[in-house]
Chains A and B, each alone.
Chain A
Amino acid sequence: MEIRLNGKAREVAEGMTVRRLLEELGLHPMRVAVQRNLDIVKRERYEEVVLQPDDTIEVLTFMAGG
């Protein structure tokens, strides 16, 4: 199925959880924030939240800034 990830289309497996998506992206779950369709997904729910087709996912982290 297709989702939008950080503004770009991406193919992911059916039943993909937030946790598995982060694993696939090689991202440390303790260093990111995840927003799904405008709602923040709390870290303790990464395991249980299953992505749906056309979900808009944003994965954010700390970057350089003043």
Chain B
Amino acid sequence: MRDGATLKFAGKEFRSRLIVGTGKYPDYPTMQKALEASGAEIVTVAVRRVNLDRTQESLLDYIDLKRYTLLPNTAGCYTAEEAVKYARLAREVGMSEMVKLEVIGDQRTLFPDNEELLRATRILVKEGFVVLPYTNDDPIMAKKLQDAGAAVVMPLGAPIGSGLGIRNPHNIMIILQTVQVPVIVDAGVGTASDAAIAMELGCDGVLMNTAIAGAKHPVMMAEAMRKAVEAGRSAYLAGRIPKKSYATASTTMEGMIE
């Protein structure tokens, strides 16, 4: 049973089990309010060329670094070498060892290239990084990543940005039974119930971006996601009833008139 009161990995501890991205918001003030409403303590960022046009605002002006832990990603990387390079650049910017490791295998699905992902994980772990790899929902791969030293494993629920929800809850469950490190569902969440399902399965956390940023009302959706993650977590800890095919009366027959 994964019954810890907090999300723990690599000697760090977080009360919130919801990790949110900073991409695709209509504007930074909306993002800032959504982050606040989500209750997240970890937010993901990308590493990109600075804007040399100084009239544009900077993302970091809208993120309170005393409050949020930044989790840089390696989005857009297609080889282990490229991902490793971006992780090193991220460490240089952020002075943090944490990296959300993405090595993409295909542009259309954005599915991970697991071979390259595993290779990059091994290199970065050796360099002292705290590696959070985005992987597919394959228990064998999850185990390999754990054995390679990943701090957590982050299986997808569905393709990035698809909003299709947790397509294979059974695999997620097997992953939970296979690895000891925290399991964080990353990608695929579309709405609050998807996040709740991930948490009801026993996942240690959920990471999402598009589901909040792309909603008609991002701030309201961020709040819904916070509640869903909390509700799902409570339901998991409370222990759900087993599923049965037939009815069981909630009301006794005793005391009915003849």
A65 neighbours in B (Cβ, 8 Å): 21-23, 44-46, 48, 73, 75, 209
Q: Which of A25, A32, A62, A64 contacts B24 (CB 8 A)?
A: A64
A25 CA to B213 CA, complexed, in Å:
31
Q: Which of A14-41 contact B (CB under 8 A)?
A: 25-27, 31-35, 40
**In contact, A60 and B49 (Cβ under 8 angstroms):** yes
Q: Which of B15-59 contact A (CB under 8 A)?
A: 21-25, 31, 44-50, 52, 54, 58-59
Contact of B169 with A by CB under 8 A: no
Given the interface pairs A6-B50, A60-B49, the reply to whether A42 lies near B44 with Cβ below 8 Å is no
A7 CA to B45 CA, complexed, in Å:
22
A56 CA to B47 CA, complexed, in Å:
18
**In contact, B52 and A63 (Cβ under 8 angstroms):** no
Q: How many residues of A contact B (CB 8 A)?
A: 23
Q: How many residues of B contact A (CB 8 A)?
A: 33
Contact with B along A1-15 (1 / 0, CB 8 A): 000011100000000
A25 CA to B58 CA, complexed, in Å:
14
A64 neighbours in B (Cβ, 8 Å): 21-25, 31, 45-46, 59
B residues apposed to A, CB below 8 Å? 21-25, 31, 44-50, 52, 54, 58-60, 70, 72-73, 75, 88-90, 92-94, 160-161, 209-210, 213
A residues apposed to B, CB below 8 Å? 5-7, 25-27, 31-35, 40, 42-43, 58-66
